Homo-oligomer: A and B are copies of this chain.
Amino acid sequence: MATTVIVHFGHRGPHHTVVVASGGLDSTVLAYWLAARHSRLTLVSFDYGQRHRVELDYATEIARLLDSSHRVIDLTSLGALLTGSALTNTSVPVPDGHYTDESLASTVVPNRNAIMLDVAVSVAIAVHADAVAFGAHAGDHTVYPDCRPEFVERFARSVEAANEGLLTPGFQVLAPFLTLTKTDIVRVGEALSVPFALTWSCYRGQHVHCGRCSTCVERRRAFRDNNIPDPTAYETG
């Protein structure tokens, strides 16, 4: 397991973390990882009109299992403006295939992580939490610039300036999986007994995972590479 990347203004573990929880595999493992480190959790999810919004139900179930509060923020009026992305516009097809620049360009929702993290910071201030966390990992870096260490560092500095005097002392912006691969994350999750069957990855958002879109391909490979049984029901074998 590679080094974790954590941006902090203090020097201790968080007492209460607001987690950007999509209902996907990465953020679910992140929530279990933080719970194992004795942080109280508040999960925040976003409905931005994503076609795979079934993931929100999975986040609700995970919050229940972790005995944490869960808030779904309605950003559908923003999603309606972002007509260029396959994740919000059902007339743009979700591409099959692996994580490459070309096939994933249409799955970029511009500035998405900054908006979600900003909201998480706002909630953190309101509930007096001392950290926000999100589950970006190394596999995201190629296509999504807002999943790179450079972004997290700069974002944290901006948060610090934007909320001077409002943040809980020692406030942290956490992206502990930033240098991990999906395979690493599945291994971490297995050690934490994460209920993988209660996580959703597929961008197509049907009743079962399609098995062919980029995130399904990556999910399947992560289990296979770890020799860990994959509990996911896929449409294609």
Contacts and interface: CB of A to CB of B under 8 A. Distances in A.
A155 interface: yes
Contacts of A115: 115, 118-119, 122
A191 interface: no
Contacts of A77: 71-74
A117 B112 CA distance: 12
**Chain copies in complex:** 2
B145 A122 contact: no
A35 interface: no
Contacts of A126: 81-84, 110
A161 interface: yes
Given A72-B77, A77-B73, A115-B115, A146 B162 contact: yes
A158 B115 CA distance: 12
Given A73-B78, A111-B162, 17 more contacts: A73-B77, A74-B74, A74-B77, A75-B75, A78-B119, A81-B126, A84-B126, A108-B166, A109-B122, A110-B166, A111-B159, A111-B163, A145-B162, A150-B161, A153-B161, A155-B161, A157-B157
Interface in A74-109: 74-78, 81-84, 108-109
A114 interface: yes
A45 to B, nearest CB: 11
Contacts of A165: 145
A119 to B, nearest CB: 6
